[in-house]
Structure 1
Amino acid sequence: MNLEFITLNNGLKMPMLGLGTYPLNRLKLLKSIWIAQNNGYISIDTSRSYGNEKWIGRSLKLINLFNNQKLFITTKLGNSDQRKGNVRKALKESMDRLGVNYVDLYLMHWPNPDTYIASWKQMEVLYKEGLVGAIGVCNFHKHHLEKLLKEAEIVPAINQIELHPLLTQEPLRDYCKSKGIQIESYSPVARMDPKLIENPLLVNLSKKYNKTVPQIILRWNIENKIVTIPKSGTKNRIIENIDIFDFKLTSDEVEQINNLNEDYRVRYNPDTVDYYKV
Protein backbone atom coordinates (compact mmCIF):
# COMPACT_ATOMS: atom_id res chain seq x y z
CA MET A 1 0.00 0.00 0.00
CA ASN A 2 1.49 3.31 -1.09
CA LEU A 3 -0.45 6.19 0.43
CA GLU A 4 -0.67 9.11 -1.99
CA PHE A 5 -0.10 12.77 -1.07
CA ILE A 6 -1.08 16.13 -2.49
CA THR A 7 0.73 19.44 -2.12
CA LEU A 8 -1.38 22.32 -0.83
CA ASN A 9 -1.10 25.90 -2.08
CA ASN A 10 1.45 26.78 0.62
CA GLY A 11 3.69 23.79 -0.12
CA LEU A 12 2.45 21.58 2.72
CA LYS A 13 2.08 17.91 1.78
CA MET A 14 -1.16 16.27 2.90
CA PRO A 15 -2.23 12.61 2.68
CA MET A 16 -4.96 12.02 0.10
CA LEU A 17 -6.85 9.80 2.55
CA GLY A 18 -7.34 10.11 6.29
CA LEU A 19 -9.57 8.92 9.11
CA GLY A 20 -12.76 10.89 9.78
CA THR A 21 -13.75 10.70 13.43
CA TYR A 22 -17.30 12.07 13.75
CA PRO A 23 -19.19 10.84 15.81
CA LEU A 24 -16.62 8.43 17.29
CA ASN A 25 -15.60 9.06 20.90
CA ARG A 26 -13.99 7.59 23.97
CA LEU A 27 -12.63 4.01 23.82
CA LYS A 28 -14.16 3.27 20.41
CA LEU A 29 -12.35 6.28 18.99
CA LEU A 30 -9.08 5.35 20.67
CA LYS A 31 -9.32 1.82 19.26
CA SER A 32 -10.17 3.11 15.77
CA ILE A 33 -7.18 5.44 15.67
CA TRP A 34 -4.89 2.70 16.93
CA ILE A 35 -6.11 0.33 14.21
CA ALA A 36 -5.87 3.06 11.58
CA GLN A 37 -2.29 4.11 12.29
CA ASN A 38 -1.22 0.46 12.39
CA ASN A 39 -2.63 0.04 8.89
CA GLY A 40 -1.08 2.97 7.10
CA TYR A 41 -3.18 6.01 8.10
CA ILE A 42 -1.23 9.08 9.11
CA SER A 43 -4.03 11.68 8.85
CA ILE A 44 -6.72 12.22 11.50
CA ASP A 45 -9.62 14.69 11.11
CA THR A 46 -11.55 16.12 14.04
CA SER A 47 -13.28 19.30 15.20
CA ARG A 48 -13.95 21.25 18.35
CA SER A 49 -17.65 20.58 17.77
CA TYR A 50 -17.21 16.78 17.64
CA GLY A 51 -16.40 16.72 21.34
CA ASN A 52 -13.70 14.09 20.87
CA GLU A 53 -10.43 16.06 20.76
CA LYS A 54 -9.51 14.96 24.28
CA TRP A 55 -9.75 11.29 23.33
CA ILE A 56 -7.77 11.90 20.16
CA GLY A 57 -5.14 13.49 22.40
CA ARG A 58 -5.06 10.31 24.47
CA SER A 59 -4.68 8.30 21.27
CA LEU A 60 -1.75 10.47 20.18
CA LYS A 61 -0.01 9.91 23.53
CA LEU A 62 -0.47 6.16 23.13
CA ILE A 63 0.88 6.22 19.59
CA ASN A 64 3.88 8.34 20.61
CA LEU A 65 4.61 5.96 23.48
CA PHE A 66 4.60 2.79 21.40
CA ASN A 67 5.15 3.77 17.77
CA ASN A 68 6.55 7.31 17.74
CA GLN A 69 4.44 7.92 14.61
CA LYS A 70 3.97 11.54 13.48
CA LEU A 71 0.39 12.07 12.37
CA PHE A 72 -1.17 14.81 10.25
CA ILE A 73 -3.80 16.39 12.51
CA THR A 74 -6.74 18.48 11.31
CA THR A 75 -9.11 20.22 13.68
CA LYS A 76 -11.68 22.94 13.21
CA LEU A 77 -12.97 26.22 14.61
CA GLY A 78 -16.53 25.66 15.81
CA ASN A 79 -19.46 28.04 15.40
CA SER A 80 -19.79 28.74 19.12
CA ASP A 81 -16.15 29.85 19.18
CA GLN A 82 -16.70 31.98 16.08
CA ARG A 83 -19.48 33.77 17.92
CA LYS A 84 -17.25 34.32 20.96
CA GLY A 85 -14.78 36.00 18.64
CA ASN A 86 -11.51 34.72 20.11
CA VAL A 87 -10.03 32.31 17.57
CA ARG A 88 -6.66 32.17 19.32
CA LYS A 89 -8.31 30.96 22.52
CA ALA A 90 -10.31 28.37 20.57
CA LEU A 91 -7.19 27.00 18.90
CA LYS A 92 -5.28 26.94 22.20
CA GLU A 93 -8.10 24.98 23.83
CA SER A 94 -8.18 22.52 20.93
CA MET A 95 -4.41 22.08 21.18
CA ASP A 96 -4.64 21.52 24.93
CA ARG A 97 -7.26 18.81 24.42
CA LEU A 98 -5.18 17.22 21.66
CA GLY A 99 -1.99 17.50 23.70
CA VAL A 100 -0.09 19.27 20.91
CA ASN A 101 1.51 22.66 20.33
CA TYR A 102 1.04 22.60 16.56
CA VAL A 103 -1.84 21.58 14.27
CA ASP A 104 -1.13 20.62 10.66
CA LEU A 105 -4.42 21.96 9.32
CA TYR A 106 -6.89 24.33 11.00
CA LEU A 107 -10.26 24.74 9.29
CA MET A 108 -13.22 27.03 9.84
CA HIS A 109 -16.07 24.55 10.25
CA TRP A 110 -18.93 26.64 8.80
CA PRO A 111 -19.30 29.97 6.98
CA ASN A 112 -21.30 31.68 9.69
CA PRO A 113 -22.34 34.81 7.75
CA ASP A 114 -21.98 37.08 10.77
CA THR A 115 -18.47 36.04 11.72
CA TYR A 116 -16.54 34.17 9.03
CA ILE A 117 -14.61 37.13 7.62
CA ALA A 118 -13.43 38.29 11.05
CA SER A 119 -12.64 34.70 12.05
CA TRP A 120 -10.56 34.16 8.93
CA LYS A 121 -8.47 37.25 9.61
CA GLN A 122 -7.66 35.86 13.06
CA MET A 123 -6.78 32.48 11.54
CA GLU A 124 -4.37 34.23 9.18
CA VAL A 125 -2.49 35.64 12.18
CA LEU A 126 -2.22 32.20 13.79
CA TYR A 127 -0.88 30.77 10.53
CA LYS A 128 1.73 33.52 10.23
CA GLU A 129 2.86 32.77 13.78
CA GLY A 130 3.48 29.14 12.82
CA LEU A 131 0.92 27.61 15.17
CA VAL A 132 -0.71 25.78 12.26
CA GLY A 133 0.70 24.31 9.06
CA ALA A 134 -2.15 25.51 6.87
CA ILE A 135 -5.56 27.13 7.22
CA GLY A 136 -8.73 26.43 5.30
CA VAL A 137 -12.51 26.31 5.40
CA CYS A 138 -15.35 23.83 5.39
CA ASN A 139 -18.80 23.95 3.81
CA PHE A 140 -18.11 27.08 1.76
CA HIS A 141 -20.14 27.63 -1.38
CA LYS A 142 -18.69 29.70 -4.20
CA HIS A 143 -20.38 32.89 -2.98
CA HIS A 144 -18.85 32.44 0.49
CA LEU A 145 -15.41 32.05 -1.04
CA GLU A 146 -15.86 35.03 -3.33
CA LYS A 147 -16.69 37.24 -0.37
CA LEU A 148 -13.83 35.81 1.68
CA LEU A 149 -11.24 36.24 -1.06
CA LYS A 150 -12.10 39.94 -1.38
CA GLU A 151 -10.99 40.40 2.24
CA ALA A 152 -8.42 37.63 2.71
CA GLU A 153 -4.66 38.02 2.64
CA ILE A 154 -4.18 34.24 2.52
CA VAL A 155 -6.12 31.98 0.14
CA PRO A 156 -7.60 28.95 1.97
CA ALA A 157 -5.56 25.80 1.44
CA ILE A 158 -8.61 23.53 1.74
CA ASN A 159 -12.37 23.62 1.29
CA GLN A 160 -13.78 20.56 3.04
CA ILE A 161 -17.28 19.83 1.74
CA GLU A 162 -19.85 17.07 1.54
CA LEU A 163 -18.95 15.29 -1.68
CA HIS A 164 -19.82 11.88 -3.13
CA PRO A 165 -21.06 10.55 -6.48
CA LEU A 166 -24.60 11.80 -5.79
CA LEU A 167 -23.25 15.26 -4.88
CA THR A 168 -20.22 15.81 -7.10
CA GLN A 169 -20.14 19.62 -6.68
CA GLU A 170 -18.27 20.03 -9.99
CA PRO A 171 -18.90 23.80 -10.40
CA LEU A 172 -17.54 24.43 -6.90
CA ARG A 173 -14.61 22.08 -7.52
CA ASP A 174 -13.77 23.94 -10.73
CA TYR A 175 -13.93 27.29 -8.96
CA CYS A 176 -11.70 26.10 -6.12
CA LYS A 177 -9.20 24.67 -8.59
CA SER A 178 -9.03 28.04 -10.36
CA LYS A 179 -8.15 29.68 -7.02
CA GLY A 180 -5.66 27.04 -5.87
CA ILE A 181 -7.96 25.70 -3.14
CA GLN A 182 -7.81 21.94 -2.58
CA ILE A 183 -11.13 20.11 -2.23
CA GLU A 184 -11.55 17.62 0.61
CA SER A 185 -14.62 15.40 0.84
CA TYR A 186 -16.49 14.39 3.97
CA SER A 187 -19.31 11.82 3.97
CA PRO A 188 -17.59 10.40 0.85
CA VAL A 189 -19.86 7.34 0.77
CA ALA A 190 -22.99 9.35 1.69
CA ARG A 191 -23.26 7.57 5.03
CA MET A 192 -23.76 4.28 3.16
CA ASP A 193 -27.03 5.52 1.70
CA PRO A 194 -28.53 2.58 -0.27
CA LYS A 195 -29.28 4.99 -3.11
CA LEU A 196 -25.53 5.20 -3.62
CA ILE A 197 -24.20 1.87 -2.36
CA GLU A 198 -26.66 -0.15 -4.43
CA ASN A 199 -26.12 1.84 -7.62
CA PRO A 200 -25.74 -0.65 -10.53
CA LEU A 201 -22.74 1.12 -12.06
CA LEU A 202 -20.82 1.05 -8.78
CA VAL A 203 -21.83 -2.54 -8.07
CA ASN A 204 -20.56 -3.63 -11.50
CA LEU A 205 -17.28 -1.78 -11.01
CA SER A 206 -16.84 -3.41 -7.62
CA LYS A 207 -17.15 -6.83 -9.28
CA LYS A 208 -14.76 -5.88 -12.07
CA TYR A 209 -12.01 -4.75 -9.69
CA ASN A 210 -12.80 -7.18 -6.86
CA LYS A 211 -13.31 -4.25 -4.51
CA THR A 212 -16.26 -3.08 -2.43
CA VAL A 213 -18.51 -0.25 -3.59
CA PRO A 214 -17.08 2.11 -0.93
CA GLN A 215 -13.59 1.33 -2.20
CA ILE A 216 -14.67 2.20 -5.74
CA ILE A 217 -16.08 5.52 -4.49
CA LEU A 218 -12.96 6.36 -2.50
CA ARG A 219 -10.79 5.52 -5.50
CA TRP A 220 -13.00 7.84 -7.59
CA ASN A 221 -12.10 10.60 -5.11
CA ILE A 222 -8.41 9.89 -5.56
CA GLU A 223 -8.69 9.85 -9.37
CA ASN A 224 -10.35 13.29 -9.15
CA LYS A 225 -7.52 14.60 -6.91
CA ILE A 226 -9.95 14.97 -4.00
CA VAL A 227 -8.68 14.42 -0.45
CA THR A 228 -11.09 12.13 1.40
CA ILE A 229 -11.70 11.26 5.06
CA PRO A 230 -14.03 8.25 5.44
CA LYS A 231 -15.14 7.54 8.99
CA SER A 232 -15.35 4.05 10.44
CA GLY A 233 -15.20 2.46 13.87
CA THR A 234 -14.96 -1.06 12.46
CA LYS A 235 -11.56 -2.73 12.02
CA ASN A 236 -12.33 -4.41 8.70
CA ARG A 237 -13.81 -1.23 7.22
CA ILE A 238 -10.91 0.93 8.43
CA ILE A 239 -8.47 -1.42 6.71
CA GLU A 240 -10.67 -1.70 3.62
CA ASN A 241 -10.96 2.07 3.21
CA ILE A 242 -7.22 2.57 2.81
CA ASP A 243 -6.79 -0.43 0.53
CA ILE A 244 -7.47 1.61 -2.60
CA PHE A 245 -3.99 2.39 -3.87
CA ASP A 246 -3.41 -0.86 -5.78
CA PHE A 247 -5.83 -0.19 -8.66
CA LYS A 248 -7.03 2.64 -10.87
CA LEU A 249 -10.32 3.42 -12.58
CA THR A 250 -10.27 4.30 -16.26
CA SER A 251 -11.02 7.89 -17.29
CA ASP A 252 -14.28 6.67 -18.81
CA GLU A 253 -15.29 5.01 -15.55
CA VAL A 254 -14.48 8.17 -13.60
CA GLU A 255 -16.69 10.15 -15.97
CA GLN A 256 -19.53 7.64 -15.64
CA ILE A 257 -19.39 8.03 -11.86
CA ASN A 258 -19.28 11.82 -12.26
CA ASN A 259 -22.54 11.55 -14.17
CA LEU A 260 -24.34 9.97 -11.20
CA ASN A 261 -24.71 13.42 -9.64
CA GLU A 262 -28.19 14.35 -8.39
CA ASP A 263 -27.21 17.23 -6.04
CA TYR A 264 -28.37 14.88 -3.29
CA ARG A 265 -27.22 15.80 0.23
CA VAL A 266 -27.09 13.61 3.30
CA ARG A 267 -25.84 16.50 5.47
CA TYR A 268 -26.65 20.19 5.84
CA ASN A 269 -26.73 22.83 3.13
CA PRO A 270 -24.52 25.74 4.28
CA ASP A 271 -27.10 28.24 3.00
CA THR A 272 -29.97 26.87 5.09
CA VAL A 273 -28.35 25.29 8.16
CA ASP A 274 -29.04 26.64 11.64
CA TYR A 275 -25.60 27.82 12.74
CA TYR A 276 -26.61 27.47 16.37
CA LYS A 277 -27.11 23.71 15.94
CA VAL A 278 -23.91 22.68 14.14
Structure 2
Amino acid sequence: MARLSSGYLIPEIGLGVYLANGNEAYQAVLTALKHGYRHIDTASFYRNEAEVGRAIHDSGLPREDVFITTKVWNSDQGYENTLAACESSLNKLGTTFIDLYLIHAPVPETRKETYRALEKLVEERKVRSIGISNYNIHHIEELKTYAKIMPAVNQIELSPYLQRRSLVQYCQDNGIVLEAYSPLTRGEKLNDPPLVRIAQQHGKTTAQVLIKWCLKKGYVTLPKSVNESRIIQNFTVNDFDLSAEDMNVLDGLECGLMVAWNPLEWE
Protein backbone atom coordinates (compact mmCIF):
# COMPACT_ATOMS: atom_id res chain seq x y z
CA MET A 1 0.00 0.00 0.00
CA ALA A 2 1.09 3.56 -0.68
CA ARG A 3 -0.11 6.52 1.36
CA LEU A 4 -1.68 9.34 -0.65
CA SER A 5 -1.52 12.99 0.37
CA SER A 6 -5.27 12.75 0.99
CA GLY A 7 -4.53 10.30 3.79
CA TYR A 8 -5.99 7.29 2.02
CA LEU A 9 -4.06 4.14 1.15
CA ILE A 10 -3.79 2.90 -2.45
CA PRO A 11 -2.84 -0.69 -3.38
CA GLU A 12 0.42 -0.61 -5.31
CA ILE A 13 -0.72 -3.00 -8.05
CA GLY A 14 -3.96 -2.29 -9.87
CA LEU A 15 -5.63 -4.01 -12.80
CA GLY A 16 -5.80 -1.77 -15.86
CA VAL A 17 -8.86 -2.36 -18.06
CA TYR A 18 -8.18 -0.16 -21.09
CA LEU A 19 -9.53 -1.81 -24.28
CA ALA A 20 -11.31 -4.52 -22.27
CA ASN A 21 -14.94 -4.49 -23.31
CA GLY A 22 -18.20 -6.06 -22.20
CA ASN A 23 -17.96 -9.50 -20.69
CA GLU A 24 -14.19 -9.53 -21.21
CA ALA A 25 -13.82 -6.60 -18.79
CA TYR A 26 -16.28 -8.15 -16.34
CA GLN A 27 -14.43 -11.47 -16.27
CA ALA A 28 -10.98 -9.82 -16.00
CA VAL A 29 -12.04 -7.78 -12.95
CA LEU A 30 -13.79 -10.75 -11.33
CA THR A 31 -10.69 -12.89 -11.90
CA ALA A 32 -8.34 -10.22 -10.54
CA LEU A 33 -10.39 -9.73 -7.38
CA LYS A 34 -10.55 -13.49 -6.87
CA HIS A 35 -6.76 -13.68 -6.95
CA GLY A 36 -6.01 -10.82 -4.57
CA TYR A 37 -6.17 -7.56 -6.51
CA ARG A 38 -7.91 -4.78 -4.61
CA HIS A 39 -7.39 -1.91 -7.06
CA ILE A 40 -9.13 -1.48 -10.42
CA ASP A 41 -8.24 1.36 -12.79
CA THR A 42 -10.89 2.34 -15.33
CA ALA A 43 -12.08 5.54 -17.06
CA SER A 44 -15.24 6.83 -18.68
CA PHE A 45 -13.36 6.75 -21.99
CA TYR A 46 -12.86 2.99 -21.61
CA ARG A 47 -16.64 2.45 -21.74
CA ASN A 48 -16.51 -0.42 -19.27
CA GLU A 49 -17.37 1.23 -15.95
CA ALA A 50 -20.67 -0.67 -15.74
CA GLU A 51 -18.92 -4.02 -16.21
CA VAL A 52 -16.25 -3.06 -13.67
CA GLY A 53 -18.90 -2.09 -11.14
CA ARG A 54 -20.90 -5.26 -11.72
CA ALA A 55 -17.80 -7.44 -11.26
CA ILE A 56 -16.90 -5.69 -8.01
CA HIS A 57 -20.45 -6.21 -6.76
CA ASP A 58 -20.52 -9.85 -7.85
CA SER A 59 -17.15 -10.54 -6.21
CA GLY A 60 -18.86 -10.37 -2.84
CA LEU A 61 -16.12 -8.13 -1.45
CA PRO A 62 -17.12 -5.18 0.73
CA ARG A 63 -17.05 -1.94 -1.27
CA GLU A 64 -14.51 -0.48 1.16
CA ASP A 65 -12.07 -3.28 0.31
CA VAL A 66 -11.77 -2.38 -3.40
CA PHE A 67 -10.01 0.79 -4.55
CA ILE A 68 -11.68 2.18 -7.68
CA THR A 69 -10.03 4.73 -9.94
CA THR A 70 -11.85 6.35 -12.84
CA LYS A 71 -11.23 9.46 -14.94
CA VAL A 72 -13.07 12.36 -16.56
CA TRP A 73 -12.53 12.34 -20.32
CA ASN A 74 -11.42 15.34 -22.36
CA SER A 75 -14.79 16.09 -23.96
CA ASP A 76 -16.49 15.96 -20.55
CA GLN A 77 -14.21 18.57 -18.97
CA GLY A 78 -15.31 21.91 -17.56
CA TYR A 79 -16.92 22.60 -14.19
CA GLU A 80 -20.55 21.56 -14.70
CA ASN A 81 -19.64 18.90 -17.27
CA THR A 82 -17.21 17.26 -14.84
CA LEU A 83 -19.77 17.18 -12.03
CA ALA A 84 -22.20 15.49 -14.43
CA ALA A 85 -19.51 13.10 -15.71
CA CYS A 86 -18.71 12.01 -12.17
CA GLU A 87 -22.38 11.37 -11.46
CA SER A 88 -22.55 9.22 -14.58
CA SER A 89 -19.47 7.26 -13.51
CA LEU A 90 -20.91 6.72 -10.02
CA ASN A 91 -24.12 5.38 -11.51
CA LYS A 92 -22.35 3.05 -13.94
CA LEU A 93 -19.99 1.77 -11.25
CA GLY A 94 -22.89 1.27 -8.87
CA THR A 95 -21.16 3.02 -5.98
CA THR A 96 -21.71 6.07 -3.81
CA PHE A 97 -18.07 7.17 -3.93
CA ILE A 98 -14.96 6.93 -6.11
CA ASP A 99 -11.64 6.32 -4.40
CA LEU A 100 -9.56 8.24 -6.93
CA TYR A 101 -10.90 10.53 -9.66
CA LEU A 102 -8.44 11.79 -12.26
CA ILE A 103 -8.40 14.38 -15.02
CA HIS A 104 -7.55 12.13 -17.97
CA ALA A 105 -5.39 14.75 -19.72
CA PRO A 106 -4.53 18.45 -19.33
CA VAL A 107 -6.95 19.99 -21.87
CA PRO A 108 -5.75 23.63 -22.08
CA GLU A 109 -9.14 25.34 -22.22
CA THR A 110 -10.87 23.40 -19.46
CA ARG A 111 -8.39 21.90 -17.02
CA LYS A 112 -8.66 24.71 -14.44
CA GLU A 113 -12.45 24.51 -14.14
CA THR A 114 -12.27 20.72 -14.27
CA TYR A 115 -9.93 20.67 -11.30
CA ARG A 116 -12.21 23.04 -9.41
CA ALA A 117 -15.01 20.53 -9.98
CA LEU A 118 -12.82 17.72 -8.62
CA GLU A 119 -12.28 19.72 -5.43
CA LYS A 120 -16.06 20.22 -5.17
CA LEU A 121 -16.55 16.45 -5.49
CA VAL A 122 -14.19 15.90 -2.55
CA GLU A 123 -16.20 18.42 -0.55
CA GLU A 124 -19.39 16.52 -1.43
CA ARG A 125 -17.72 13.21 -0.43
CA LYS A 126 -18.42 11.68 -3.80
CA VAL A 127 -14.67 11.36 -4.36
CA ARG A 128 -12.05 10.53 -1.74
CA SER A 129 -8.85 11.48 -3.57
CA ILE A 130 -8.26 13.51 -6.70
CA GLY A 131 -5.43 13.57 -9.16
CA ILE A 132 -4.21 14.11 -12.67
CA SER A 133 -3.04 12.02 -15.60
CA ASN A 134 -0.60 12.87 -18.37
CA TYR A 135 0.41 16.14 -16.68
CA ASN A 136 3.91 17.50 -17.20
CA ILE A 137 5.82 19.83 -14.87
CA HIS A 138 4.50 23.03 -16.43
CA HIS A 139 0.92 21.77 -16.10
CA ILE A 140 1.42 21.10 -12.40
CA GLU A 141 3.15 24.44 -11.86
CA GLU A 142 0.08 26.11 -13.36
CA LEU A 143 -2.23 23.96 -11.22
CA LYS A 144 -0.40 25.10 -8.08
CA THR A 145 -1.58 28.67 -8.75
CA TYR A 146 -5.24 27.76 -8.24
CA ALA A 147 -5.50 24.38 -6.52
CA LYS A 148 -6.82 24.25 -2.96
CA ILE A 149 -6.06 20.51 -2.80
CA MET A 150 -2.86 19.29 -4.39
CA PRO A 151 -3.28 16.22 -6.64
CA ALA A 152 -2.60 12.96 -4.85
CA VAL A 153 -1.52 11.16 -8.03
CA ASN A 154 -0.11 11.75 -11.51
CA GLN A 155 -0.77 8.77 -13.77
CA ILE A 156 1.70 8.66 -16.67
CA GLU A 157 3.30 6.11 -18.95
CA LEU A 158 6.39 4.70 -17.24
CA SER A 159 8.68 1.73 -17.78
CA PRO A 160 12.45 1.14 -17.85
CA TYR A 161 12.21 2.17 -21.51
CA LEU A 162 10.46 5.48 -20.71
CA GLN A 163 11.57 6.84 -17.34
CA ARG A 164 10.73 10.58 -17.46
CA ARG A 165 13.18 11.21 -14.65
CA SER A 166 12.75 14.97 -14.27
CA LEU A 167 8.95 14.70 -14.08
CA VAL A 168 9.18 11.76 -11.67
CA GLN A 169 11.57 13.69 -9.40
CA TYR A 170 9.33 16.76 -9.52
CA CYS A 171 6.24 14.75 -8.52
CA GLN A 172 8.10 13.01 -5.71
CA ASP A 173 9.42 16.35 -4.43
CA ASN A 174 5.82 17.64 -4.37
CA GLY A 175 4.26 14.66 -2.62
CA ILE A 176 2.49 13.38 -5.74
CA VAL A 177 2.39 9.59 -6.10
CA LEU A 178 3.37 8.29 -9.55
CA GLU A 179 1.12 5.73 -11.22
CA ALA A 180 2.66 3.83 -14.13
CA TYR A 181 0.38 2.91 -17.00
CA SER A 182 1.55 0.67 -19.84
CA PRO A 183 4.33 -0.65 -17.56
CA LEU A 184 4.61 -3.73 -19.78
CA THR A 185 5.27 -1.62 -22.92
CA ARG A 186 2.16 -3.24 -24.42
CA GLY A 187 4.36 -6.24 -25.05
CA GLU A 188 6.86 -4.46 -27.28
CA LYS A 189 9.90 -5.13 -25.08
CA LEU A 190 8.97 -8.39 -23.36
CA ASN A 191 11.60 -10.25 -25.40
CA ASP A 192 14.36 -7.68 -24.97
CA PRO A 193 17.56 -9.69 -24.19
CA PRO A 194 18.70 -7.77 -21.05
CA LEU A 195 15.19 -8.05 -19.62
CA VAL A 196 14.98 -11.74 -20.53
CA ARG A 197 18.31 -12.43 -18.78
CA ILE A 198 17.16 -10.84 -15.53
CA ALA A 199 13.84 -12.69 -15.68
CA GLN A 200 15.58 -16.02 -16.24
CA GLN A 201 17.93 -15.42 -13.31
CA HIS A 202 14.92 -15.05 -11.02
CA GLY A 203 12.72 -17.69 -12.62
CA LYS A 204 10.16 -15.03 -13.43
CA THR A 205 8.47 -13.62 -16.52
CA THR A 206 9.75 -10.43 -18.10
CA ALA A 207 6.38 -8.84 -17.26
CA GLN A 208 6.94 -9.64 -13.59
CA VAL A 209 10.36 -8.01 -13.73
CA LEU A 210 8.89 -4.84 -15.27
CA ILE A 211 6.24 -4.67 -12.56
CA LYS A 212 8.84 -5.23 -9.85
CA TRP A 213 10.98 -2.42 -11.30
CA CYS A 214 8.01 -0.05 -10.94
CA LEU A 215 7.40 -1.12 -7.36
CA LYS A 216 11.07 -0.72 -6.47
CA LYS A 217 10.89 2.82 -7.86
CA GLY A 218 7.93 3.55 -5.58
CA TYR A 219 5.34 3.70 -8.36
CA VAL A 220 1.81 2.34 -8.25
CA THR A 221 1.68 0.11 -11.31
CA LEU A 222 -1.28 -0.77 -13.53
CA PRO A 223 -0.60 -3.87 -15.67
CA LYS A 224 -3.44 -4.72 -18.04
CA SER A 225 -4.45 -8.25 -18.99
CA VAL A 226 -7.63 -10.20 -19.60
CA ASN A 227 -5.87 -13.57 -19.48
CA GLU A 228 -6.29 -15.36 -16.14
CA SER A 229 -2.79 -16.83 -15.92
CA ARG A 230 -1.17 -13.48 -16.76
CA ILE A 231 -3.46 -11.63 -14.34
CA ILE A 232 -2.22 -13.99 -11.61
CA GLN A 233 1.44 -13.73 -12.70
CA ASN A 234 1.34 -9.94 -12.77
CA PHE A 235 0.21 -9.92 -9.15
CA THR A 236 2.77 -12.52 -7.99
CA VAL A 237 5.82 -10.34 -7.53
CA ASN A 238 6.43 -10.37 -3.79
CA ASP A 239 8.39 -13.65 -3.80
CA PHE A 240 11.52 -12.24 -5.45
CA ASP A 241 13.62 -9.09 -5.40
CA LEU A 242 15.73 -7.20 -7.89
CA SER A 243 19.34 -6.56 -6.90
CA ALA A 244 21.06 -3.21 -7.21
CA GLU A 245 22.82 -4.63 -10.26
CA ASP A 246 19.49 -5.68 -11.79
CA MET A 247 18.11 -2.19 -11.22
CA ASN A 248 21.17 -0.60 -12.81
CA VAL A 249 20.70 -2.75 -15.91
CA LEU A 250 17.01 -1.90 -16.09
CA ASP A 251 17.66 1.80 -15.50
CA GLY A 252 20.06 1.65 -18.44
CA LEU A 253 17.29 0.58 -20.84
CA GLU A 254 15.90 4.12 -21.20
CA CYS A 255 15.28 4.79 -24.89
CA GLY A 256 12.27 7.09 -24.94
CA LEU A 257 9.94 4.30 -26.04
CA MET A 258 6.37 5.57 -25.89
CA VAL A 259 3.61 3.06 -26.62
CA ALA A 260 0.67 5.29 -25.69
CA TRP A 261 -0.23 8.92 -26.42
CA ASN A 262 1.65 11.98 -25.19
CA PRO A 263 -0.49 14.82 -23.74
CA LEU A 264 2.52 15.75 -21.60
CA GLU A 265 3.61 17.99 -24.45
CA TRP A 266 0.34 19.91 -24.59
CA GLU A 267 0.39 23.59 -23.72
Take 2:187 and 2:59, find their aligned partners in 1: how far apart are those partners?
30
Take 1:167 and 1:120, find their aligned partners in 2: how far apart are those partners?
27
1:70-97 Cα offsets, whole Å, 9 max, x none, are 3110000111110584211110110000
SS of alignment partner, residue 129 of structure 2: strand
Where in structure 2 are the equivalents of 1:101-180 lying within 5 Å?
Answer: 101-180=96-175
5+ residue gaps, structure 2, are none
* 1:263 to partner: Cα distance: 1.4
Residue type of the alignment partner of 1:212: T
Take 1:172 and 1:91, find their aligned partners in 2: how far apart are those partners?
28
**Residue 85 of structure 2 is aligned to residue 87 of structure 1:** no
User: 207, 210, 215: which one pairs with 1:222?
Assistant: 215
Identity level (%): 36
Residue type of the alignment partner of 2:235: I
* 1:170 to partner: Cα distance: 1.1
Take 2:89 and 2:177, find their aligned partners in 1: how far apart are those partners?
24
Using a 3 Å threshold, how does the CA distance of structure 1 residues 155 and 265 change in structure 2: closer, same or farther? same
The number of aligned residues is: 266
* 1:197 to partner: Cα distance: 1.5
Residue type of the alignment partner of 1:174: Q
The answer for the alignment partner of 2:51 in structure 1 is 55
SS of alignment partner, residue 233 of structure 1: coil
Take 1:42 and 1:141, find their aligned partners in 2: how far apart are those partners?
28
SS of alignment partner, residue 135 of structure 1: strand
* 1:68 to partner: Cα distance: 4.1
Take 1:85 and 1:254, find their aligned partners in 2: how far apart are those partners?
45
Residue type of the alignment partner of 2:76: D
SS of alignment partner, residue 197 of structure 1: coil
Q: TM-score, normalised by structure 1?
A: 0.92
User: 17, 21, 26: which one pairs with 1:25?
Assistant: 21
User: 182, 199, 203: which one pairs with 2:196?
Assistant: 203
1:93-134 Cα offsets, whole Å, 9 max, x none, are 100000001011001000001111111011111112221110
Judge conservation of contact 2:34–2:59 (CA < 8 Å) in 1.
Answer: no
The two structures, once aligned, show a CA RMSD in angstroms of: 1.6
Residue type of the alignment partner of 2:223: P
Judge conservation of contact 2:101–2:129 (CA < 8 Å) in 1.
Answer: yes
Judge conservation of contact 2:78–2:113 (CA < 8 Å) in 1.
Answer: no
Using a 3 Å threshold, how does the CA distance of structure 1 residues 131 and 84 change in structure 2: closer, same or farther? closer
The answer for the alignment partner of 1:261 in structure 2 is 254
5+ residue gaps, structure 1, are 274-278
* 1:34 to partner: Cα distance: 1.2
Q: TM-score, normalised by structure 2?
A: 0.96
1:172-192 Cα offsets, whole Å, 9 max, x none, are 100000100000000001100
* 1:33 to partner: Cα distance: 1.0
* 1:28 to partner: Cα distance: 1.1
Take 1:142 and 1:41, find their aligned partners in 2: how far apart are those partners?
31
User: 231, 245, 258: which one pairs with 1:252?
Assistant: 245
Judge conservation of contact 2:37–2:235 (CA < 8 Å) in 1.
Answer: yes
Residue type of the alignment partner of 2:51: W
